[in-house]
């Protein structure tokens, strides 16, 4: 077994372990990387003896730790991680601003959820009676648990 082949096998295994830890969860890639590293150490042990096998095992562990540390330290893995944030919010309903019986208009189609304008403010609302088209007049039927229920005002 060539020393070059053993080195390539171990380096590929270290790469797979690093990819598993930083990018691809699920253990499959990491297990494959571990198998490659163990095969490289085993062949070194078999062909070159126990001293060389122990040294290669120590270097492999050190190389794996160094690869993970450098990837975390340099922020290399940040290029593969999600950078966006969700900035949604729940309806903040002030009962002084909107109450049952108030009239308004649909700013988007309510099928059954959509956006309405009541008393000059925008709210998310749910239609009680099905679809309500854009700019159609609505009336607030009830407010329950930060949810506004409306129907078409005909």
Question: Residue 33 falls within a domain, yes or no?
Answer: yes
67 and 26 inside one domain = yes
72 and 113 inside one domain = no
14 and 63 inside one domain = yes
Question: Residue 44 falls within a domain, yes or no?
Answer: yes
| pLDDT exceeds 80 at position 80 | no
| pLDDT exceeds 90 at position 89 | no
pLDDT at 1: 62
111 and 58 inside one domain = no
Number of domains observed in the structure of the chain: 2
Question: Residue 98 falls within a domain, yes or no?
Answer: no
pLDDT at 15: 92
76 and 7 inside one domain = yes
Domain of 137, in residue numbers: 103-152
Question: Residue 87 falls within a domain, yes or no?
Answer: no
Q: Say what the pTM is.
A: 0.52
Question: Residue 35 falls within a domain, yes or no?
Answer: yes
pLDDT at 11: 94
Question: Residue 89 falls within a domain, yes or no?
Answer: no
Question: Residue 47 falls within a domain, yes or no?
Answer: yes
H runs (alpha helix) in the chain: 3-22, 28-48, 50-74
pLDDT at 88: 67
Share of the chain above pLDDT 70, in %: 94
pLDDT at 71: 79
CATH of the domain at 127: 2.40.50.140
70 and 119 inside one domain = no
pLDDT at 4: 93
10 and 56 inside one domain = yes
18 and 54 inside one domain = yes
Long-range contacts, stretch 91-97, CB < 8 angstroms, 24+ apart: 91/123, 91/124, 91/146, 91/147, 91/148, 92/146, 93/123, 93/143, 93/146, 93/148, 95/143, 97/121
Q: pLDDT digits over 121-141, tens only?
A: 999 999 998 899 999 999 999
Q: pLDDT digits over 17-33, tens only?
A: 988 888 887 889 999 99
């Amino acid at each position: 077994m060539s020393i070059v082949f053993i080195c390539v096998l171990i380096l590929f295994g270290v790469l797979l372990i690093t990819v598993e830890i930083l990018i691809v969860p699920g253990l499959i890639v990491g297990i494959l990387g571990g198998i490659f590293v163990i095969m490289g150490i085993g062949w070194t042990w078999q062909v070159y003896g126990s001293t060389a096998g122990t040294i290669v095992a120590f270097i492999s562990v050190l190389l794996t730790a160094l690869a993970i540390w450098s990837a975390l330290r340099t922020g290399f893995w940040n290029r593969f991680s999600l950078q966006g944030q969700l900035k949604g919010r729940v309806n903040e309903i002030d009962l002084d601003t909107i109450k049952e019986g108030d009239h308004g208009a649909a700013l988007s189609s309510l099928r059954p959820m959509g956006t309405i304008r009541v008393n000059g403010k925008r709210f998310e609302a749910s239609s009680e009676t099905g679809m309500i088209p854009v700019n159609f007049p609505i009336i607030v039927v009830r407010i329950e648990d930060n949810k506004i229920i409306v129907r078409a005002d005909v």
